Amino acid sequence: MAGSGFKISFGLMKKWIQDFTVIENITLNSEYFELIVSPSDPLPEVLPGQFAAIRVDHSPGTFLRRPISIYDTDYQKNTLSFLIQVVGEGTKKLSGLRKSDTLNLIYPLGNTFDTAGVRKPLLIGGGIGIAPLLFLGNHLKDKGLKPVFILGFRHAGLLVDLSPFRKYGEVYLTTDDGSAGERGLVLDHSILRRHKFDFDMIYTCGPEVMMKAVAEFALDRGIQSQVSLENTMACGFGACLCCVQKTRQGNKIVCTEGPVFNSRELVWQI
């Protein structure tokens, strides 16, 4: 039954297991789609950086829920949205959902981006890693800040509608082959040379090699940075330890202690 749900606790954290109704499933390009869903009860507080564990129904090969970042929330419309890239059976199945179908979520999982004291944020996303940055931009704008986004894609064919990002801040674009925006990788964008560079926090999500480069870029400039990791997960609530990440303080569980980390804490494995 759409909208039914109950609260569970993992330690101190209150989570919901709840059915949502699909409001819209929008195909954005050959790989990405946006799923907009709504519960029948009012949404609880959801924070940028958090994710949902999505059950993939009618798919025997995808017994485990799939972790997907919250792309945005609209409390007035009582909706959550997800930006999803089709990579395997689970995401392919989700891409076939239609209006009025039911989707079961455990949410909100994980920690959040720390925005305390930030004055000038730079948000750098690559590919599907742009997903958690939209909701973060929404939150930063609500705090009266003006986020700057640099978003990178492999080529123009993988672009998504960037107008939601433009609602929250300035958007600069790169593609590897120059087919849209500036040619090159996100850190090649000329805005980084033209800007007087008074950013005091960089938030990033994307391929690990990109996040590592962004973390080094921030460190070289004495700026703090936070990364949102997408380690492969199974349980999503700290029980199986399959998502552990090496840090300077030992191994950390990404699904409960992350997915957002101060980049200086991380011991990169690449």
Ligand X SMILES: Cc1cc2nc3c(=O)[nH]c(=O)nc-3n(C[C@H](O)[C@H](O)[C@H](O)COP(=O)(O)OP(=O)(O)OC[C@H]3O[C@@H](n4cnc5c(N)ncnc54)[C@H](O)[C@@H]3O)c2cc1C
Which residues bind to ligand FES, rule: CB under 6 A? 233-236, 238-243, 253, 255
Query: How many other C-beta atoms can be found within 10 angstroms of the C-beta atom of residue 174?
Result: 23
How far apart CA 208 and CA 130 sit, in angstroms, is: 13
Burial class (CB in 10 A: 0-12, 13-18, 19+), 37: buried
CB of 110 to ligand FES, least distance (A): 10
C-alpha dihedral (78, 4, 128, 210), degrees to nearest 10:
100
Residue holding tokens 């419309």?
77
- Residue 89's binding partner among ligand X, ligand FES, none (Cβ under 5 to 8 angstroms by kind) is ligand X
Structural contact between residues 209 and 267, judged by C-beta atoms closer than 8 angstroms: no
CB of 122 to ligand FES, least distance (A): 29
Residues that bind ligand X (CB under 6 A): 51, 62, 66-69, 83-85, 87-91, 128, 131, 230-233, 259
- Residue 31's binding partner among ligand FES, ligand X, none (Cβ under 5 to 8 angstroms by kind) is none
- Cβ closest to ligand FES, residue 65 vs residue 189: 65
CB of 258 to ligand FES, least distance (A): 9
- Cβ closest to ligand FES, residue 97 vs residue 105: 105
- Residue 204's binding partner among ligand FES, ligand X, none (Cβ under 5 to 8 angstroms by kind) is none
- Residue 131's binding partner among ligand X, ligand FES, none (Cβ under 5 to 8 angstroms by kind) is ligand X
- Cβ closest to ligand X, residue 152 vs residue 199: 152
Structural contact between residues 221 and 197, judged by C-beta atoms closer than 8 angstroms: yes
C-alpha dihedral (142, 143, 147, 153), degrees to nearest 10:
-50
CB of 13 to ligand FES, least distance (A): 13
At 203, which helix (H) or strand (E)? strand 201-205
Whether cis (ω within 30° of 0) applies to the bond prior to 108 is yes
CB of 208 to ligand X, least distance (A): 9
C-alpha dihedral (47, 51, 57, 62), degrees to nearest 10:
-170
- Residue 91's binding partner among ligand FES, ligand X, none (Cβ under 5 to 8 angstroms by kind) is ligand X
